[in-house]
Chains A and B, each alone.
Chain A
Amino acid sequence: MISLTIDERNIEVEAGLTILQVARQNNINIPTLCHHEALEPYGACRLCTVEVTVRKKKRFVTACNYIISEGIDVRTVSPEVTEIRRMILELLLAKCPDVEIIKDLAKSYGIDKPRFKLENQTCILCGLCVRVCKEIIGANAISLIGRGVDARVDTPFHLSSEVCTGCGACAAVCPTGVIQLQITRDKVEIKPFNTIVKLKQCISCGKSLASETLLGEVRRKLGNLSKSALLCTDCKKERESLALANSARFFKNA
C-alpha cells in the first residue's frame, strides 16, 4: 500500500496506480481529453497536468501517466495548474472553435474567446482513434501522419484502408465527433480517412451482416466458414428454433 495526499486529503491505495486513477477513485475531478480507461496512457493533451511535490521538489506532471509513489503530495488545483489548463484550452479553442467539448471545457475555465487567430479544425490530435484501432481492435488502420503542425490522423497515403474492419471504434472514442461513419446496406464509409469497407449480406434475408475484411480475418484464422456463419443473428435464431421444433416433432413421432 502507498500513502499520498491529493488536495490535502490523505489517501492510502495499492501501488502501481496513476494519479488519475487514484483521483477518480476518490471522486476528485481532473479533466482529460486524450485519456481512455481501456487504453494505455498517452500524455498528449496535457490537460490533466497537476502539481506534484516529491522530496520537497515541486514539478508539473500529467496525472494520466504518472505512477504514484510513497509520500507524494498532489495538487490538482492551484493557480499555476489552472493557468496551464487555461492556456491549453485557449490553444485548443483557437484551433477548433466549433467543437462542443472544447467550447464547454474552455468555458468552465472562463475562456470564451481565444486571443489567437481562429482556425477551423475539428481534430485535436488526441490520438484516441489511432490507439483504439491499434491496442483494442488490432487493425492498425490509421496512424498519426506528419510532424508538428502538419500532424494529422489518416490511413497510409490517404488511400482506402485494406485492413479497416469498419468496426467504428475510432468514431466511438472520438471526443470531438469529427470521425463519422456512414453506414448503408452494403458499405461503411469513414470519410475523414477516405475509407470504404464493403459489407456482406445475410445469405437468407439480405440484411447487412459484417464487413468483408472482418469475415476474411475470421476465415484466415478459423478456415472456411460454415453456412450458418453467414446468417444474421435474426435468421440464425429462426433457423435454430425451426431445427429445434423439427427435432421435437421427430421425438414425438417416434
Chain B
Amino acid sequence: MKLTSPEELESLRRSIVSIRDPNRPCITICSGTGCHACGCEAVTQAFTKELKKNKLNGKVDIKTTGCHGFCERGPITVIHPKGIFYQRVGIKDVEEIVSETIINNKIVERLLYVDPATSKKIAYEKDVPFYAQQKRLILDNNERIDPESIDDYIAIGGYSALSKVLSHMKAEEVVTEVIQSGLRGRGGGGFPTGWKWDSCRNAESEDGTRYVICNADEGDPGAYMDRSVLEGNPHSILEGMTIGAYAIGSHNGYIYVRNEYPLAVKNVSTAIRQARAYGLLGENILGCGFDFDIKVSRGGGSFVCGESTALMASLEGRVGRPRAKYVHTVEKGLYDRPSNLNNVETWANVPLVINKGAGWYSKIGTEGSKGTKIFSLVGKINNTGLVEVPMGKPLREIIYDIGGGIPNNKKFKAVQTGGPSGGCIPESLLDLPVDFDELTKAGSMMGSGGMIVMDEDTCMVDVARYFLSFLKDESCGKCVPCREGIKRMLEILDRICHGQGTDGDIELLEQLSHSIMNAALCALGTTAPNPVLTTIKYFRDEYEAHIKDKACPGGVCTDLFEYFIDEALCTGCGRCKKACPTSAITGSKKEHHTINLDACIKCGACFEVCKFKAVKKGNVEGVRA
C-alpha cells in the first residue's frame, strides 16, 4: 500500500493506534546485541511457548525491541503497561513471570534491580538510577518499537517530521532549522550539521547529482551506539536521511555499514523495503513530488573506512584510503559529486529537530554543543551500557551516578573518551562538562562517543601502547608520518613496558607526536598521538617509573614486577599452590609458601585466588634480592 499524501500517513497512524489497546499486557524483550549475547532469543521463544501453554496467546503481546542500553543487566524484559523492569532474565524465570506477573499481577521480587547505593529493589524501569538520570531522546524509542515493524515506528509518530518537511517546508527552511538547532556531527568531527548541508546544497554539481550518505562504519573498540540505533530504530535513520536529502536536493542515498553488524544490515534492509512499500522512499514520496532512495553498502572491515574520503573511495569500489580534503567532500565527494556524509546518530537527531523545532532543541546542552549524546560506557564500570545524556553533563555524574562507579571498590584512575585516538582524562578533571569543546581542551575528543573507564589496576603506558597498536594495524599506510611514525612510537612504548626505556624516550615520543599531528594526511593520523600525549600529560610519573625505576605502578607490565608471598600474611592454605599452572609454588600445609621465580610465568593465578592478600607484586630487583 503506497501512501500518496501526508494525510494518508496520518490516517494510517491513527488506524494503527486505534486497534492497539494501550492497557493490553505486553512483554518487551530487549533484542539488542548485548542481550542477544546473553541469550534473549531463547528467552523470547520460552515466553511464546509459555503464553501458548497458558492459552494467553492473542491476549498478551510479545515485542522484541532494539537495545535498551543497560547491557550489564541483560537480557532485559519490561512488562507493559506498568513498565515492570526485570533484569538478567533466563529461560528458567519465564514460567514465573507469566504466572505471577501476567496472570496474577504480582511482581517477581528476585528479578528486580537492586540499587547498590540504597540496597532497595526497584520495580519500574523509569525509577532505575541508570535510566532516571539520563535524557534519552534517541534511545527511548528503541524500547518502544519492534525494529522490524514500520507500523510500530509510525505509531509513535514516525515519519511525521518527513511529512511536515515535504508538505510545509521549503528546502532552505529545513537547512535553516537545522543550523539554528545547533546540531553538530556526532561522528567525531563535530562539524555543524546545518552548515554542512548548506555547503553541499550550494556546491556546484555538473549534472545536478548530489549524494547523501550515512556513516555506519563504527569501528572504535568498545563503542556500539550507532550499532544500537541502526539495529533498534532503523526507520529514524531513513527518515533523517530523507529529510536531509530534501534539504540538500539529493535523490540518492547510501548507508555504509560494517559487515560485522549483521543485525544492523538486516534491520536496515528490511526497513528500506518497508519504507519503499509505503511510498516513504522511492519516487514521489507521500505524493509530494520528491524522489529519494537509499542503498545499503557493506564495509569490508577497515577502521579507516570510517574516514569520509576513504569511505567514499570504498563506496566507489576502490581501496579505502583517504585523500587530502583541501577540496571538501561536500563539493567533490562520491564520484566527484557534492556529497553530504553524516553519522548514524546525527541522522537520528534530524526528525527530532524538525518535529520539536530548533528552539526546543537548542535549549538542551551547552553553548557550543546542543542536544544529547549517546556514550557507550564500558571498561571498569558497574553499569556497562549505552548512556544518553544532555551535552555538558559532568563526567563524574556519568561515571558515578549513571555508571554506578567502579566495581570491587577499586579507585578510579582515568577515562578514555573518543575511541582509540581519544585521550585519557584523569580524576582531577572528572568535573569536566562533557561536550565537544571541553573534551578537546582537555586533550581528548568527543569522537563518536566511546567512554572506557579504567581503575587503579591499569597501567597508563600499557593503555597508550594498546591504542597505538590498534592504530598501527588500522593505518592505511599511505602517508609516511602515520605509517612510519605510529610504528616507531609503538616501538618506544614496547621498550618502556619491557623495562628497556631510556632517558629521552618521553621527549622523543612527544616530538613524534607533534610531527604526526601536524603532518599526517587524515584524521586517523592526526589524532593518533592523543592517547600518548594525554597519558604523558596526566600520568608522566608512570612513564618515569617505568623508565627510571623499572617499575610498573599499575602492576600490569609483567617484565617489571615479580610475584612474592608475604610471610606475615600467608596462612599456608595451599590455594595458590593448587592454582599455579607451572608448579612454581612450594610449601607445606599451614606453613609459609614461596614462589620459585625462575619457574613463575606471571600468569597471576596465585594473586587472584589468595584470600589473605598474601600474594603481592614487587619490584623485580627487590624481590630477587
Which residues does A use to contact B, with CB under 8 Å? Answer: 41, 43-47, 49, 60-62, 65-67, 80, 83-84, 87-88, 91-92, 94-95, 115-117, 124-125, 127, 143-144, 146-151
Contacts and interface: CB of A to CB of B under 8 A. Distances in A.
A43 B479 contact: yes
Interface in B459-492: 472-481, 483-485, 487-488, 491
A117 B478 CA distance: 21
Closest A-B pairs by Cβ, 8 of them: A151-B477, A87-B515, A91-B484, A148-B475, A148-B477, A46-B519, A60-B518, A84-B519
Nearest to B485: A91
B19 interface: no
B317 to A, nearest CB: 14
B477 A144 contact: yes
B515 A88 contact: yes
B474 A148 contact: yes
B474 A49 contact: no
B518 A94 contact: no
Nearest to B477: A151
Nearest to B504: A115
Contacts of B326: 61, 65-67
B520 interface: yes
B481 A65 contact: no
B132 interface: no
A49 B472 CA distance: 22
Interface residues of B, number: 32
Interface of B: 302, 319, 321, 323-324, 326-327, 472-481, 483-485, 487-488, 491, 508, 511-512, 514-515, 518-521
A165 B306 CA distance: 37
28 contacts: A43-B324, A43-B479, A43-B521, A44-B478, A46-B480, A47-B480, A62-B324, A65-B326, A66-B324, A80-B518, A84-B515, A84-B518, A87-B485, A87-B519, A88-B515, A91-B484, A125-B477, A125-B478, A125-B480, A144-B319, A144-B321, A147-B302, A147-B474, A149-B475, A149-B483, A150-B477, A151-B477, A151-B483
Contacts of A127: 478
Contacts of A46: 479-481, 519-521
Contacts of B511: 83, 87
B515 A116 contact: no
Contact of A60 (B478, B479, B519): B519
A35 B479 CA distance: 13
B479 A44 contact: yes
A150 B491 CA distance: 16
B480 A88 contact: yes
Contacts of A95: 484
Given A46-B480, A87-B511, A115-B508, A149 B472 contact: yes
A72 to B, nearest CB: 11
Contacts of B319: 143-144
Nearest to A49: B519
Contacts of B321: 144
A185 to B, nearest CB: 38
Contacts of A117: 491
A46 B480 CA distance: 7
A204 B511 CA distance: 65
B370 to A, nearest CB: 24
A38 B78 CA distance: 66
Given A46-B479, A148-B474, A148-B475, A83 B514 contact: yes
Contacts of A61: 326
Contacts of B518: 49, 60, 80, 84
